Amino acid sequence: MTHPTAVATATVAELLWQAVADGDEHTASAMVHEALDTGVREETLLLEVLAPVQERVGLEWAADRITVAQEHAATAINERIIASLAHRRERAPGRASRGRVTVGCVDGEWHAFPARLVAEVLALHGWQVDFLGAQTPTPHLVAHLHRTNPDAVLLSGSIPTHLPTAHGAITACQAVGVPVLTGGRAFGPDGRYARMLRADRWAADAQGALAVLAEGMPRPDASASRHAVDDLPHLADQEYTMVVQSRHRLVGQTLAGMEERFPALRAYSDVQRERTAEDIAHIVNFLAAALYVDDADLFTTFLTWTADILHARHVPTRSLDLALDILTGQLRDFPRAKHAIRQGRDVLERRPDHPVPGPRS
């Protein structure tokens, strides 16, 4: 038997999706606040209404059913609704804080929505939260820790290409004696990359973060300095470093090679060429991230997602395989890179053509 609250939240979520998809912020906000007034808990609205609606925004963009502008507008509406709920919240007089935490995103990470959800849930459970928002530069994060001395840092990342930066942030926070709790898709579905980068803990969601904090997080030894290669010995082969340092050359030569072998590309407009170069840059960046954590699956997952995006936009995926073939020629002296590319091409070859999954509007 379906629980009445589940029915109510599913209905609110569907109505909220329709409102944000139409860009109707007034209606979207009104229905969420009306649900709160009728007894739906704020935490339920955050995790069972706003979170799934935001996830649907991403899916609809990926399936090419909404534009980038619509995706940005919908995200902005959802963010303002969360802020309105927080401003409405009354702090109980004399309520003791369970502790102080800092919540922020890895430098370069613009997807702040998941971190904001976690920050608000923690606040609801009595934590004093310093929410630093998107792309927090590591030096500024560390300066904030020196000033506030929180019980923990909650570091969020959605894009795996930011894992090297996340590694530096984790190490820097631990070097000043503050433990790091990581979360977000960038760290892998089971937190495998969080463990690899020596984060103190990982949580899959807001409820998981609450549980970890409730257990308590011991402070790391600030005197135990370490370098990236100490955590990731495979970096000693310099493949990651060389790929990153030659990124612009790799992108330029791959684009030139595609023009030579795929004549239709020569007729592209300047905008189309720019977009193609951006796509190649993404391939190189994800390859570099896979080299950093020594996991070819990170690269193949990205390629599969990219192929789905191209298919939804009626772009031939053979261009993706061509780019990988040209990259392989440039990286013939890089065994780990060649292995990742070969595995990616094998996955693409076995991949059936199908549209991006997700609900239709």
Average pLDDT rounded to a whole number, residues 154-174: 97
Task: Work out whether the CA dihedral 147, 150, 152, 154 comes out positive or negative.
Answer: negative
**What are the Cα distances from residue 322, in Å, to 253, 327, 328, 342, 348?**
13, 9, 10, 12, 12
Polymer length of the chain = 361
pLDDT of residue 128: 95
- The answer to whether residues 219 and 179 touch, using CB atoms and an 8 Å cutoff, is yes
**Which of 3-17, 65-79, 219-233 is modeled with the greatest confidence?**
65-79
Average pLDDT rounded to a whole number, residues 188-209: 96
pLDDT of residue 263: 84
Average pLDDT rounded to a whole number, residues 333-354: 90
Q: Is 15 helix (H, G, I), strand (E, B) or coil?
A: helix
Reported as a pLDDT band with limits 50, 70 and 90, residue 356 is: very low
pLDDT of residue 359: 42
DSSP state of 50: I
Q: What six digits make up the tokens of 276?
A: 């193609």
- The answer to whether residues 130 and 150 touch, using CB atoms and an 8 Å cutoff, is yes
Q: Quick: pLDDT tens for 291-315.
A: 999 999 999 999 999 999 988 988 8
Q: Quick: pLDDT tens for 92-106.
A: 544 558 999 999 999
**Could you tell me where the DSSP H helices lie in 22-67?**
25-37, 42-45, 51-62
Q: What six digits make up the tokens of 104?
A: 């922020």
Q: What six digits make up the tokens of 190?
A: 């089971």
pLDDT of residue 58: 95
pLDDT of residue 315: 81
pLDDT of residue 353: 59
- The answer to whether residues 360 and 56 touch, using CB atoms and an 8 Å cutoff, is no
Mean per-residue pLDDT over the chain, rounded: 92
Task: Work out whether the CA dihedral 202, 207, 213, 215 comes out positive or negative.
Answer: negative
Q: Quick: pLDDT tens for 240-275.
A: 999 999 999 999 999 999 999 988 888 889 998 998
pTM of the model: 0.92
| CA–CA distance, 313 with 320 (Å, rounded to integer) | 14
Distance of CA 92 to the CA centre of its chain: 34
Q: Is 329 exposed, middle or buried (0-12, 13-18, 19+ CB in 10 A)?
A: exposed
